[in-house]
Amino acid sequence: MDSIIFEAPFNSLSFGNVSFNLAREMFKKGMSVSLFPFKNSFDFSAFADKLDPSLKEWLEESTNSRFDNYKKDTPCLKVWHINGSEQRLSKNSFLYSFYELNSPTLTECILLNSHDHTFFSSSHASGEFKKSGCDNTSFVPLGFDVDFESNEGKRLDDKIHFGLIGKWEKRKHTSKIIQAWASKYGDNNDYQLTCCVVNPFLEEKKMNELISKALSGKRFSNINFINRLKTNSEVNILHNAIDIDLSGASGAEGWNLPSFNSTAKGKWSIVLNATGHKDWANEENSILMQPSGKISAYDGTFFQEGSKFNQGEIYDFSTDDLLNAMDIAVSKVKNKEENKKGLMLKDQFSYEKTLDKILSEMESLV
């Protein structure tokens, strides 16, 4: 497939990173793309310091000339949430999306059935919708972002450094993870926890309240909360600085880029064996925790009970299991045990493979 309509967001969030990487692979293939960036704009701030000028020029030209070869039957790939995916730019419409929960709603199924096919970033998501009668879905995994390849950055020589990366949410168990870590290592300066957990959809006052509540108003000498990082290069430096990743203890994910990237860079990640994690994390490349059960996903902010979207449950874990997993991770770091299987994820999952699989499926259905 040489020609495509591509409708996608280009920003510093997860959707934007996926869109950028897919577009970069289209550029490498020399494809003819009618590009429709959401809101008709690009936010390259996350990629600016590493953005190939030729790629930037191609993205802009593919947008400016998008109607030159526009045809109603040219296949369209849209990267977006299920909510808001209803508009079609082509009679051959394909959606790439994320889903974390377990109770697809009638509205979500109607929207998926309005597309020829929907690709999900996890087999869990595709499976949940197939159980609800949406047979036009499949799983296409994400890949390792080559911009995270470098090892630039400094590690803490005299401490074991834990990292927690990803916006603060109940779904991600942010508060529970921090509380558990503080109970075990708080004020023990042989250990450090760096939290990059600012949720851009929450006001600063609310973020401060959440942090204070999680730590019962206490301050710990070895827990560091940092501002939201503006570039992927800065995020990469943080990945390189830590020894152990805690982001994988999230209760529901479509893939979990922070934990996946940490693991693929050879870090030891503590990962809950559920939802999108099951497609890349295993006992050889991660420290797996088994779920203790399920709890409601509703948080009154991002997941509203009774909504037409995002209904259901997330997976939970035992705090004792998390503390035990921390012991295992610390032992591996102290023994300088290399995560060789984690490093292999870079080759197993790439955006080139992601795009190839999407295009192959699209071609078979057009």
In the block, which residue shows the tokens 């082509």? Answer: 90
pLDDT of residue 154: 82
Mean pLDDT in residue range 121-134 = 97
pLDDT of residue 334: 96
Is pLDDT at 156 greater than 90 in this prediction? Answer: no
pLDDT of residue 48: 86
Question: What are the domain boundaries of the chain?
Answer: 3-143+350-365, 146-348
Is pLDDT at 152 greater than 90 in this prediction? Answer: no
The C-alpha atoms of residue 356 and residue 146 are separated, in whole angstroms, by 17
Summarised one tens digit per residue, pLDDT across range 57-82 is 999 999 999 999 899 999 999 999 99
Q: How far is CA 326 from CA 128, 190, 232, 310, 332, in A?
A: 31, 14, 27, 31, 10
Average pLDDT in the chain? 96
Q: What percent of the chain has pLDDT over 90?
A: 95
CB of 175 closer than 8 Å to CB of 259: no
Split at pLDDT 50, 70, 90, the class of 46 is very high
pLDDT of residue 269: 98
pLDDT of residue 245: 98
CATH topology of domain 146-348: Rossmann fold (3.40.50)
Split at pLDDT 50, 70, 90, the class of 361 is very high
Summarised one tens digit per residue, pLDDT across range 206-251 is 999 999 999 999 999 999 999 999 999 999 999 999 999 999 999 9
Split at pLDDT 50, 70, 90, the class of 276 is very high
Q: Could you check whether 3-143+350-365 and 146-348 share the same CATH topology?
A: yes
For residue 148, the tally of other CB atoms under 10 A from its CB is 20
Summarised one tens digit per residue, pLDDT across range 161-214 is 999 999 999 999 999 999 999 999 999 999 999 999 999 999 999 999 999 999
Q: What percent of the chain has pLDDT over 70?
A: 100
pLDDT of residue 153: 80
The 3-class secondary structure across 184-222, one letter per residue, is HHCCCCCEEEEEECCCCCCCHHHHHHHHHHHCCCCCCCC
Split at pLDDT 50, 70, 90, the class of 157 is confident
Closest to 182 (Cα-Cα) out of 341, 319, 278, 84? 319
Is pLDDT at 257 greater than 90 in this prediction? Answer: yes
The C-alpha atoms of residue 122 and residue 140 are separated, in whole angstroms, by 7
The 3-class secondary structure across 251-269, one letter per residue, is CCCCCCHHHHHHHHCCCEE
Mean pLDDT in residue range 103-110 = 98
pLDDT of residue 179: 98
Q: Kindly report the pTM of this predicted structure.
A: 0.96
Mean pLDDT in residue range 335-352 = 97
Mean pLDDT in residue range 331-341 = 97
The C-alpha atoms of residue 172 and residue 257 are separated, in whole angstroms, by 13
Q: Write out the CATH class of domain 3-143+350-365.
A: alpha beta
The C-alpha atoms of residue 98 and residue 126 are separated, in whole angstroms, by 9
| Alpha helices (H) in the chain, listed in sequence order | 14-29, 53-64, 106-113, 123-131, 174-185, 204-214, 232-241, 257-264, 319-334, 340-343, 345-348, 351-365
In the block, which residue shows the tokens 């109770």? Answer: 103
Q: Which two tokens stand for residue 312?
A: 């259901």
- DSSP label at 344? T
Q: Which two tokens stand for residue 194?
A: 């760096």
35 phi and psi, to 5 degrees? Answer: -95, 130
Mean pLDDT in residue range 338-362 = 98
The C-alpha atoms of residue 103 and residue 358 are separated, in whole angstroms, by 25
